[in-house]
Amino acid sequence: MDQELRDAARDHLVRYGQGEIDRLYVSARGAVITDDEGREILDFTSGQMCATLGHSHPAIVKTIQSGVVDAVHMFSGMIPEPVARLAKKLADWLPGSLSKVLLVSTGSESNEAALRMAKMVTGGYEVIGLGGSWHGVTGQSTALSYASDRRGYGPKVPGVSMIPEPYAYRCPVRHCRDKCDMTCMKIGLNMFDMASEGAPAAIIAEPILSAGGVIVPPDGYFKMLQDEAEKRGMMLIFDEAQTAFGRIGAKTAAEKLGITPDIMSVSKTLGGGLPLAATITTDEIEEKAHAQGFNFYTSHVSDPLPALAGLAVLETLVEEDLIERANQTGAYLRQHLGALQQKYEAIGDIRGQGLMFGIDLVKDRESREPDLELGDVTTRRCMELGLSMNIKRRPERGAVWRIAPPLTVTHDEIDRGIGILDQALREGLDELAGSK
């Protein structure tokens, strides 16, 4: 441990929402992170949901080591060969007619590009997002993020609207219980129609609302949403930052749903831990956008080194059969989470697909009142015991553990993680009972 470095971090780093700095971290391999005291921590969020293959996967490390020899960065108007290769690979990988690719650095950027493109091609500016969504922290993307962090930053981009999310466990329109009949969408769209100024552009949605509590919309939801978008002359944008490239046991959520959106944004799961994102659309939409002067000229658009990492990610997913492994390992994890649910009344609901789960903590299963305090106590205790996972806590949306280990996680690591979750719940419930 280097106390001088810890002090430097506390003295000189802006706190951006991560809590107090009580330690530093020195390495990450597979599903394990090591801190500056040599303590190993099991990572059940794949970093910031980005290390899908596990931290420092050999294929990614090898790619970076060899890639830096040729080029790390170029003038944004030049197209490096790895960028062309990745664009072709993505066009082959993605469903339907999604074949035109813009490579950028972050999910926020990819959503900004998607929204700019939709607005330019439709001529409108009104955009709808889902309650509980998270699309980024830049201008348009943060205006359409409703999971948290909306207050204190001044006015948002004009023209944004929200429709209630399909959260049947805790229905936002107080209509359904357990089975969503999509009244939330109908009410939300009716309200949009009443408020619209006649300039519709797009609906943007995560196929699974992760930051909102790992909310999985019901069967038929996105087909209906696509139909409603078409009726209004709006484009449908899928934000697949967390659902693409194996996380939910499929190439993409779009493929799994049988829905091809007009535009898709991908990010976290594409770069293998490096900052890489993409906005992908059809030939027709790209042609119209280009004809009207579409521009998204950033400092790191089409960078060669991240593109090489993206190629390595897609190749590794196939070579190691990680999509099928996500289904099999996810079933193993769900089985063990279900056993915890049988043991603890505090686990009200388990949601998710593949290796992406939300565990909804409640004071009792009948009222489903979120147990925010238990969420905080158990998450902190998990970290003390050597397990990193986070809590999504909002009074209106619940206290939800979000669990998404790397696709390479082993059964032994899952067993260890479940043991820590079990201990943290038991001790957390005892602690809270003793404080009353």
pLDDT digits (tens, 9 = 90+) for 8-38: 999 999 988 877 888 999 999 999 999 999 9
Does pLDDT of 65 surpass 70?
yes
Are residues 356 and 404 both part of a single domain?
yes
Buried b (16+ CB within 10 A) or exposed e, 27-60: ebebbbbebeeeeebbbbbbbebbbbbbbebebb
Quick one: average pLDDT of 365-391? 94
Q: Taking the CB of residue 420, how many other CB atoms lie within 10 A of it?
A: 20
- Do residues 246 and 329 lie in contact, with contact meaning Cβ atoms separated by under 8 Å? no
- Do residues 351 and 169 lie in contact, with contact meaning Cβ atoms separated by under 8 Å? yes
pLDDT band, very low/low/confident/very high, at 436 (cuts 50, 70, 90): low
What does pLDDT average to over the chain?
95
Domain closes at, from 277, 295, 319: 319
In percent, the amount of the chain with pLDDT more than 90 equals 91
pLDDT band, very low/low/confident/very high, at 374 (cuts 50, 70, 90): very high
Are residues 342 and 392 both part of a single domain?
yes
- Do residues 399 and 384 lie in contact, with contact meaning Cβ atoms separated by under 8 Å? no
Q: Which of 134, 228, 349, 381 is catalytic?
A: 134
Domain closes at, from 319, 348, 365: 319
pLDDT score of 215 = 95
CA dist., res. 394 & res. 361, Å (int)? 12
Encoding tokens for residue 140?
């348009």
Q: Which of 100, 247, 251, 268 is catalytic?
A: 268
- Residue 348's alpha-carbon distances to 106, 252, 369, 372, in angstroms, are 34, 28, 9, 13
Quick one: average pLDDT of 75-101? 95
Decide if 344 is inside a domain. Answer: yes
240 is catalytic: no
CA dist., res. 47 & res. 62, Å (int)? 20
93 is catalytic: no
Decide if 106 is inside a domain. Answer: yes
Are residues 308 and 329 both part of a single domain?
no
Are residues 44 and 124 both part of a single domain?
no
Does pLDDT of 96 surpass 90?
no
pLDDT score of 403 = 97
Domain count, the chain: 2
Q: Which of 109, 112, 126, 239 is catalytic?
A: 239
Give the CATH number for residue 189. 3.40.640.10
134 is catalytic: yes
Are residues 282 and 346 both part of a single domain?
no
Quick one: average pLDDT of 191-201? 97
End-to-end CA distance of the chain: 38
Are residues 365 and 258 both part of a single domain?
no
pLDDT score of 27 = 96
pLDDT band, very low/low/confident/very high, at 434 (cuts 50, 70, 90): confident
Coil, helix or strand for 259?
coil
Q: Which of 325, 351, 397, 402 is catalytic?
A: 402
Does pLDDT of 44 surpass 80?
yes
Which one is predicted more confidently, 304 or 394?
304
Are residues 270 and 143 both part of a single domain?
yes
Are residues 327 and 302 both part of a single domain?
no
pLDDT score of 397 = 78
436 is catalytic: no
206 is catalytic: yes
402 is catalytic: yes
pLDDT score of 21 = 87
Coil, helix or strand for 392?
strand
Are residues 182 and 41 both part of a single domain?
no
Domain closes at, from 302, 319, 336: 319
Decide if 63 is inside a domain. Answer: no
Decide if 66 is inside a domain. Answer: no
Are residues 168 and 309 both part of a single domain?
yes
Q: Tell me which of 13-17, 121-125, 187-191, 408-412 is least confident.
A: 13-17
Decide if 161 is inside a domain. Answer: yes
Q: Which of 43, 206, 240, 349 is catalytic?
A: 206
Does pLDDT of 393 surpass 90?
no
Q: Tell me which of 160-164, 408-412, 428-432 is least confident.
A: 428-432
Are residues 178 and 228 both part of a single domain?
yes
Decide if 421 is inside a domain. Answer: yes
Give the CATH number for residue 337. 3.90.1150.10
Are residues 314 and 334 both part of a single domain?
no
Quick one: average pLDDT of 402-407? 97
For the segment 281-336, what is each residue's pLDDT rounded down to a tens digit?
999 999 999 999 999 999 999 999 999 999 999 999 999 999 999 999 999 999 99
Q: Which of 378, 374, 377 is nearest to 362 (CA)?
A: 374
Decide if 64 is inside a domain. Answer: no
Decide if 65 is inside a domain. Answer: no
Does pLDDT of 396 surpass 90?
no
Q: Which of 242, 325, 353, 360 is catalytic?
A: 242
Q: Tell me which of 61-75, 104-118, 230-244 is least confident.
A: 61-75
Q: Which of 315, 407, 415 is nearest to 51 (CA)?
A: 407
Q: Regarding beta strands 398-403 and 390-394, do their DSSP bridges make them parallel or antiparallel, or are they unpaired?
A: antiparallel
Structural domain span for residue 103: 71-319
* H helix intervals, 42-95: 46-49, 58-70, 81-93
